[in-house]
Structure 1
């Protein structure tokens, strides 16, 4: 699952959204037309912005939409999505992130100061006056207070000269924020953060968002002393000690936030129409009223779940392009003529292994043996071109779980802020496209116990998450500690730089190219993957080319040819004499050093499960050397 901005940065171009989608709930035709005209004006500003106008136009458009949000004619998230889609529809905008930030800044300004252009503010007030009034009550659940909340944190008194004096009641202001479910939330490292809870769905909120809420409340609420908005605004700005982080630190929550977590036998996915509980026996879509605890807003997938598409299914839905993709990257090995070596089977062992791997990554449960999932290629060519579908596979996980994507090429263990891309709520950490120099030992603790994140300018925190690693080359594993912490899976050679998933399916996955049915088949596929994992756990997959690829990358083709004649029983080999024999057969290896030669034997033994290598500390018969057994090498060595 990804944030709106992450999605937009990777989204393709699209057509502007129909404005009527946003205004259909407004019953008053006059107000509806005014809202439409305002949105059309904002949309036009962005789409027709020329060179040198994009920054200013996006800011102005954001202010216009913010006016509608501040006037409660448009939900905040609707305003965000509308602006983002408009920006995405202008093909001349290259800096999407920058222009989205401009629009969001404008949105915030507009909320604080709703726009009165073209008489819209007056029409808003007239429309509100026509709405049916309900009896005022102090109950939090009374929805009538959501439109006309009472503001009770100002006090008005007279001084000795009879002049009116307006003050702020700190206690009442804190109580007001708590009633609206703003709280201080401390991380494991004691960092001061703030959250808001709406019907057990929690999201982090910044200090300025809490302040924005106070100003917006003053604009839309009822003040019993008859204070106007400018009077309340002036009082707040004169008393900034009550609209700052140190004051909001008093937003304490008396109880513990008990967040819903997956268990050893069940996994939860959260959709807009309920939450899905999955076990090895099946699944059930439940209403949020049955949710026992809190969840983060980021966990909610921005789609409804259609249970009809998965009902009674036990195998992958081949109506799904994504299910076909999984079948091809697990079972679809091809030869040089691009013919299948064997027809992919939907119930094959490798597709079952891959489904279990996906289920493991989606199962947010950590009281188990934590392993890093390593995705690599199967191509035996000397070039490491990649493009086999690894990144697309990790993106599928990110559709359903908050994830951090760390560039493997840029990762430096010496960098104190190396994990700062990991957010507190991330559930999957992806090291994408690592280099041959990547040292697995550097993330041992992160894999098994959690990542210590030290972001710049902020307090550190710890995140326990599943780990995924992608690499064009094989991952160098040294010893049992490395092997015990990874679960390797090679993707077939079906996809490459010559033939991509886009070529195969004719559409971008997880984009506007996907219709609603394709999304539903995707969710059904992932649900079956979770069910598979809960039933079988992680099973070592059959990786036909992985051993040979590791041998080719960590030794040499001459060595692999020569080692076939070594003994299949534990034998002592003197290093100097053995190297001389090797160089007699391969004169071009005359500069090979004994230490490197020995390392090749060690690497070979690491790759072959029944091979043996040991370097004794002392000499044997007065000679330095090593014990070696060749074991059972790959047939194609």
Structure 2
């Protein structure tokens, strides 16, 4: 499918995109590309094709989510809360989530609610919503928020208790959609929860020391000229078209891998990515000590914060995320590691 700014090629296990000449001029599209860049610390030679596919899928998911939130028609089978989450930043905020939400709110009527102060026992929590409200923004929700409390609002009629004992109801086809920003993963497990989440990961490309103004030389929205707004409207049109073409593009599997990356550290992941680039290493046995020494050879200071035990734990998490079968055995008092690739169903 060809759009005016960006062209995607998507199959079962691969996603690629190309920017048109017009697309290269759209600052907000470039901003979204940057927020989907989880490998910006790597040198180009270290970025794998799998990295590129994953980041393209994350970008497509964000563009489709914008289209979903903008598009007024609602369908029960795709009723979800869009959740913009930090997956790399060690400190809350500055990753671009708020700009993402504010961009959408420039085109439809939105009601913002400060998430960290939200009280689900407050009967008048939706008091300020009107029939014209098309988007409810729950900003900065805490980790312990009871996500299932939102189920009726996501997939049913929206009941609003007004002060003065008046009760309004917005029928499901006309009720607002929900977008959430959060620093940590929203609690909740199970099919019902997964069926109502559309999670969008934001990298740490933007952080406390690097903001969009450093890249683009202007504040989004307030400093935009007619040309900038033209490309913003073109992007909105593309997002709606992408959503209608692809529907919800979910990236839970990628998010899980990125979450593991945060847990074990980008330095370790970078080393392991390079090590396993050699396919022969996926079918060999190597002693734990030898592999640990190879890891330390890259940076001897790692010994201070990655013990041999921690190294094994990180390696096990890495292999689990990358679908590498990892097994150990003791032979003559030496612990040996073995690796082999796990074949995906779509690769058979």
Same fold (TM over 0.5): yes
Residues 113 and 139, structure 2, Cα contact 8 Å, conserved in 1: yes
Partner of 1:368: 76
Alignment of 1:79-118 (within 5 A): none
What secondary structure does 1:373 align onto? strand
Partner of 2:243: 533
- How far apart are the structure 1 equivalents of 2:114 and 2:124? 13
Partner of 1:501: 212
What secondary structure does 1:481 align onto? helix
Do structure 1's residue 462 and structure 2's residue 169 form an aligned pair? yes
What secondary structure does 1:413 align onto? coil
Specify the structure having the higher radius of gyration (Cα).
1
Residues 332 and 344, structure 1, Cα contact 8 Å, conserved in 2: no
Which range is displaced more, 502-511 or 451-460? 451-460
Post-superposition shift, 1:340?
A: 8.8
Alignment match of 1:426 (pick from 133, 141, 151): 133
Residues 334 and 340, structure 1, Cα contact 8 Å, conserved in 2: no
Residues 402 and 426, structure 1, Cα contact 8 Å, conserved in 2: yes
What secondary structure does 2:191 align onto? helix
Partner of 2:57: 349
Unaligned ranges ≥5, structure 2: 8-18, 264-316, 324-341, 343-348
What secondary structure does 2:186 align onto? coil
- How far apart are the structure 1 equivalents of 2:107 and 2:196? 24
- How far apart are the structure 1 equivalents of 2:95 and 2:29? 16
- How far apart are the structure 1 equivalents of 2:85 and 2:150? 18
Partner of 1:485: 196
Partner of 1:474: 185
Partner of 2:232: 522
- How far apart are the structure 2 equivalents of 1:471 and 1:550? 18
- RMSD over aligned CA atoms reads 3.5
- How far apart are the structure 1 equivalents of 2:220 and 2:211? 12
Post-superposition shift, 1:329?
A: 1.2
- How far apart are the structure 2 equivalents of 1:522 and 1:344? 25
Partner of 1:224: none
- How far apart are the structure 1 equivalents of 2:39 and 2:163? 45
- Note closer, same or farther for the CA distance 1:341–1:544 as it changes in structure 2 (3 Å cut): farther
- How far apart are the structure 1 equivalents of 2:136 and 2:207? 25
Post-superposition shift, 1:437?
A: 1.8
Residues 424 and 461, structure 1, Cα contact 8 Å, conserved in 2: no
User: 1:195-231: per-residue Cα shift (whole Å, max 9, x none)?
Assistant: xxxxxxxxxxxxxxxxxxxxxxxxxxxxxxxxxxxxx
Residues 375 and 488, structure 1, Cα contact 8 Å, conserved in 2: yes
What secondary structure does 1:331 align onto? coil
Alignment match of 1:359 (pick from 56, 62, 67): 67
Alignment of 1:314-329 (within 5 A): 314=7, 315=19, 317-329=23-35
Partner of 1:410: 117
What secondary structure does 1:454 align onto? strand
Alignment of 1:163-202 (within 5 A): none
- How far apart are the structure 2 equivalents of 1:426 and 1:449? 16
Post-superposition shift, 1:350?
A: 2.4
Post-superposition shift, 1:336?
A: 8.0
Post-superposition shift, 1:324?
A: 0.6
- How far apart are the structure 2 equivalents of 1:466 and 1:394? 12
With the length of structure 2 as denominator, give the TM-score of the two structures.
0.63
- Note closer, same or farther for the CA distance 1:544–1:535 as it changes in structure 2 (3 Å cut): closer
Post-superposition shift, 1:344?
A: 6.7
- How far apart are the structure 1 equivalents of 2:92 and 2:39? 17
Residues 87 and 258, structure 2, Cα contact 8 Å, conserved in 1: no
Bigger share in strand: 2
What secondary structure does 1:539 align onto? coil
What secondary structure does 1:417 align onto? coil
- How far apart are the structure 1 equivalents of 2:253 and 2:31? 18
Post-superposition shift, 1:486?
A: 0.7
Post-superposition shift, 1:502?
A: 2.1
User: 1:571-592: per-residue Cα shift (whole Å, max 9, x none)?
Assistant: xxxxxxxxxxxxxxxxxxxxxx
Aligned residue pairs: how many? 248
Residues 63 and 242, structure 2, Cα contact 8 Å, conserved in 1: yes
What secondary structure does 2:162 align onto? coil
- Note closer, same or farther for the CA distance 1:389–1:450 as it changes in structure 2 (3 Å cut): farther
- How far apart are the structure 2 equivalents of 1:551 and 1:322? 27
With the length of structure 1 as denominator, give the TM-score of the two structures.
0.35
What secondary structure does 2:163 align onto? coil
- How far apart are the structure 1 equivalents of 2:101 and 2:111? 11
- How far apart are the structure 1 equivalents of 2:115 and 2:260? 19
Post-superposition shift, 1:552?
A: 8.3
Alignment match of 1:436 (pick from 143, 147, 153): 143
What secondary structure does 1:496 align onto? coil
Residues 58 and 201, structure 2, Cα contact 8 Å, conserved in 1: no
Residues 373 and 469, structure 1, Cα contact 8 Å, conserved in 2: yes
Post-superposition shift, 1:451?
A: 2.6
User: 1:569-620: per-residue Cα shift (whole Å, max 9, x none)?
Assistant: xxxxxxxxxxxxxxxxxxxxxxxxxxxxxxxxxxx9xx99x9xxxxxxxxxx
Post-superposition shift, 1:405?
A: 1.0
Do structure 1's residue 330 and structure 2's residue 36 form an aligned pair? yes
Post-superposition shift, 1:548?
A: 6.2
Partner of 1:510: 221
- How far apart are the structure 2 equivalents of 1:458 and 1:509? 41
- How far apart are the structure 1 equivalents of 2:178 and 2:202? 18
- Note closer, same or farther for the CA distance 1:431–1:411 as it changes in structure 2 (3 Å cut): same
Residues 281 and 531, structure 1, Cα contact 8 Å, conserved in 2: no
